[in-house]
């Protein structure tokens, strides 16, 4: 989810995978796949940056080991004396 701001100053989160188009003329309008339109204060480039950052975070989280998996044993090698 990305957080954007309505013209009245309230913020809301939207799933960027549901955004079909972004218009900027002069207000930035997000159009979702179901046809809903949201006018936001962020510029088009800011929204695109938020979407790219969101997707980058998803990739980073997907590449991390799962927390619910059992921890692998740590092998400790004795020092060479």
Q: What is the CATH number of the domain that holds 34?
A: 2.40.50
Q: What is this structure's pTM?
A: 0.76
Give a yes or no: residue 78 inside a domain: no
Give a yes or no: residue 70 inside a domain: no
Tell me the residue range of the domain where 24 lies. 2-63
The reported pLDDT for the residue numbered 63 is 87
Please check the confidence at residue 81 and state whether its pLDDT lies above 50: no
Query: Residues 19-67: pLDDT tens digits?
Result: 999 999 999 999 999 999 999 999 999 999 999 999 999 999 888 876 6
Whole-angstrom distance between the N-terminal and C-terminal Cα of the chain?
54
Give, as one character, the DSSP assignment of residue 56.
Answer: H
Give a yes or no: residue 68 inside a domain: no
Query: Domain count of the chain?
Result: 1
Give a yes or no: residue 49 inside a domain: yes
51 φ/ψ angles, rounded to the nearest 5 degrees: -65, -45
């Amino acid at each position: 989810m990305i957080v954007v701001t309505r013209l009245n100053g309230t913020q809301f989160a939207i799933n960027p995978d549901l955004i079909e188009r972004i218009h900027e003329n002069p207000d930035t309008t997000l159009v979702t796949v179901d046809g809903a339109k949201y006018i936001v204060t962020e510029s088009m480039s800011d929204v695109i940056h938020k979407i790219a950052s969101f997707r980058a975070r998803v990739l980073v989280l997907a590449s991390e080991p799962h927390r619910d998996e059992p921890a692998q044993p740590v092998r400790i090698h004795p020092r060479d004396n």
